[in-house]
Amino acid sequence: MRRVFVYEIPNVTNEQLSAYNIKEIKLSYYERQKVRQKIKIEEELEIIIILKDRTHIRPFSYIYIDSSSKTAYKVVPLEEECLVIEVDAPLSYLLLGHILGNMHLPIGIWENKVTTIFDPTVEYRLNKYGFKTNRLIVPFVELSEHTEHMHSHG
C-alpha cells in the first residue's frame, strides 16, 4: 500500500483539475475537524493527514492531488444524522442563534431550514424552548469556519 502525507490542503479549483479523474472521499463533520487522521482509499492508497492545529478540512476541498495518475481526491460531506430546526418567527432566529452559538455548535442550511449535527441534549433544549425539530440523514455542510475566541461562561 502506498502512503502519502498531507501537511496542507492544496489550494486548487475545479477548473484547474478539469483533466483529472476526481475521486470523492466522504467524511462526516467531526472527521473533517480532525487535524490528524488516516484515510484509507481502497487497498492501494492511505492518505495521512497532519494539519496545523486549529485548521480543518473544508467540504469540497481537494486533500491530495496525484499528478502521476492524474487523480484528485475531493472531500464531500457524508450523510449523517442532523437536527432540522423549524423557525416560525423572525425573532426566534435570535434565540436559536444564542442557544446554538452558546453551545459552539455548527449550523448549516438544508432546504431553507437551519440544521446542526444531531445531539440528544441539543434536541431536548431546543424542544424545551418551543422549537420543532426533526432528525434527518443529510449531508451536513457548515456555513462558516469556527474561529478561536476566549470568553467565560460563568
Confidence check: pLDDT of 149 > 90: no
Mean pLDDT of 45-56: 93
Q: 10-19: per-residue pLDDT in tens?
A: 999 889 999 9
Cβ–Cβ under 8 Å, residues 27 and 77: yes
Q: 97-130: per-residue pLDDT in tens?
A: 999 999 999 999 877 789 999 999 999 999 999 9
Which domains, ranges and CATH numbers included, belong to the chain?
2-77 (2.60.260.20), 79-139 (3.30.70.790)
Bigger pLDDT: 144 vs 54: 54
pLDDT of residue 54: 85
For the packed helices 90-102 and 120-128, what is the interaxial angle rounded to 10 degrees?
140
pTM above 0.85, yes or no: no
Continuous segment of H or E residues that includes residue 5: strand 2-6
pLDDT of residue 151: 47
